[in-house]
Structure formats: structure tokens, C-alpha cells
């Protein structure tokens, strides 16, 4: 079901992609590192360069930079209480599960080892370590990549079509089948039990019989 919704969202994004600027899917990368290409074939991907390895997000510089970036993108957003250091990676990975890797095909940031995904995961770690909530981090990435980056589409705006469309289509299909079935039954009944009309020989014969019975 989830895969169906995602593919439907992609289809709608493809259709509406160039017609509207409100929600745009980033174009496919012209070229991705060999690691990402390997990953698309579901083979083990080569690890990212050492400077891109996750896990070092607790550095003060990275947190400060993440703070600056999110404040510039989402003015007014304030961080809460940072989680314990040993939970940062767990929370970041959980958030990364819901974000799309930009150079992969249908993989989350948490599942991909491509440099782009690893860099995004590091950024998430920095934002989590700074105390930002999941909704703020999601909003930050949406402000950079569009709603396309969310693996689970939101239920607002045109996305309602994505969520409700399949159910409406299913109900419309049921109504169509029911309507056609009823039409067929009516026709069958008409054929099986033809109502004797006043001019048919059978009806005149019946009328004559009834008259004779009444006379008796």
C-alpha cells in the first residue's frame, strides 16, 4: 500500500512537475558517484569517504553550522532541549528513514551509503544534536528539495488527492460494477417475464377466460 501511494505520488509529481512551482521534484542527477550507481542495483555500495562518515556530528562546529543553516532556511524556528548524546544517532537514523536519498531510486537517507545520503544523515545528526524536532528537520529538507524528499507524503493540499484518490477510485469502480450489474438484471427480468400487453394474443385469451369465470 505504501509503495502504491509513493508511486502514485511520483506519478502526480511527474504530471504536475513542470506545471506548478509549488511542489517540485528535483530532477534525476545527471551523474551520481559509482557508489550510488552500484547501490541502485541492490549490491553492497562502497563506503563514503572518511570525511563523510556519520557519527561525528557532535562537533561544536557542525552543530553551529547546522544552526545557522536551519535558521536561514526557517526563520523563527527554535531548538528544544538536545537529546542525550548516545541517542542522537538513533533519532537521526529514524528521521533519515523518512527522507528520500536524492541520488538513489526509492531509498531512504538512512538506508543508503551514497555520499549524498551520508552527508544528509550527518546534517540530520547535527540538527538533532542542536535540539531541533523532527518536524523542523523535515521542514528544512523540504525547503531545500521540495516535498519530493519526504518518503511519506503529507496529507495537506494536493496531496489529499494522493491519499484519497485510490479510495475514491475504488468506490467509483464498485458503483460502476453495481450499476452495470443492476442494468443487466433488469434486462434479464424483462426478457424472462414479459408483461402481457393489452394487444397481445395471450392477454386477450386471459381476459376472455376471466370473463367466462365471472359469468359463471
Nearer to another protein by Cβ, of 84 and 117: the residue is: 117
CB of 205 to another protein, least distance (A): 28
Q: Of the candidates 1, 5, 3, 2, which has an alpha carbon nearest to the alpha carbon of residue 165?
A: 5
Task: Kindly list the residues in this chain that would bind another protein in the complex (CB under 8 A).
Answer: 11, 14-19, 21, 24-34, 48-49, 51-52, 62, 65, 69, 72-73, 102-103, 115-116, 119-120, 122-123, 142-146, 172, 176, 179-180, 183, 186-187
DSSP state of 46: P
From the CB of 209, what's the least distance to another protein, in Å? 32
Which SS3 state, helix, strand or coil, does residue 129 take? helix
CB distance 155 to 164 below 8 Å: no
The phi, psi pair for 108, rounded to 5°, reads -85, 165
Q: Which is nearer to another protein, 187 or 204 (CB)?
A: 187
Q: Which is nearer to another protein, 33 or 131 (CB)?
A: 33
Sign of CA dihedral 152, 153, 155, 159: negative
Q: How many Cα atoms within 13 Å fall on the side-chain side of residue 105?
A: 6
- Let me know: does 118 contact 131? Beta carbons within 8 Å: no
Query: Based on CB atoms, which residue is closest to another protein, 79 or 115?
Result: 115
Q: How far is the CB of 98 from another protein (least distance, A)?
A: 16
Closest distance between another protein and the C-beta of residue 83, in Å? 21
**Inter-axis angle of helices 85-96 and 115-129, nearest 10:** 130
Helices 2-16 and 159-192, axial angle in degrees (round to 10): 100
Looking at beta carbons only, is 20 or 203 nearer to another protein?
20
Min. distance of Cβ 216 from another protein in angstroms?
42
CB of 44 to another protein, least distance (A): 18
Nearer to another protein, 18 or 156 (CB): 18
Amino acid at each position: 500500500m505504501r509503495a502504491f501511494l509513493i508511486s502514485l505520488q511520483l506519478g502526480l509529481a511527474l504530471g504536475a512537475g513542470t506545471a506548478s512551482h509549488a511542489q517540485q521534484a528535483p530532477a534525476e542527477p545527471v551523474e551520481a558517484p559509482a557508489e550510488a550507481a552500484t547501490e541502485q542495483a541492490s549490491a553492497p555500495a562502497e563506503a563514503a569517504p572518511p570525511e563523510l562518515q556519520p557519527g561525528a556530528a557532535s562537533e561544536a562546529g557542525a552543530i553551529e553550522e547546522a544552526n545557522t543553516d536551519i535558521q536561514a532556511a526557517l526563520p523563527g524556528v527554535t531548538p528544544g532541549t538536545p537529546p542525550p548524546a548516545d541517542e542522537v544517532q538513533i533519532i537521526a537514523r529514524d528521521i533519515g528513514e523518512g527522507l528520500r536519498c536524492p541520488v538513489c531510486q526509492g531509498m531512504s537517507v538512512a538506508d543508503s551509503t551514497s555520499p549524498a545520503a551520508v552527508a544528509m544523515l550527518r546534517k540530520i545528526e547535527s540538527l538533532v544534536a542542536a535540539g531541533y524536532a523532527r518536524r523542523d528537520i523535515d521542514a528544512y529538507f523540504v525547503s531545500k528539495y521540495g516535498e519530493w524528499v519526504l518518503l511519506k507524503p503529507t496529507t495537506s493540499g494536493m496531496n489529499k488527492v494522493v491519499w484519497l484518490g485510490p479510495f475514491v477510485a475504488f468506490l467509483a469502480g464498485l458503483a460502476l460494477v453495481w450499476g452495470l450489474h443492476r442494468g443487466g438484471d433488469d434486462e434479464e427480468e424483462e426478457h424472462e417475464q414479459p408483461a402481457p400487453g393489452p394487444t397481445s394474443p395471450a392477454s386477450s385469451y386471459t381476459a376472455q377466460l376471466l370473463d367466462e369465470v365471472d359469468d359463471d
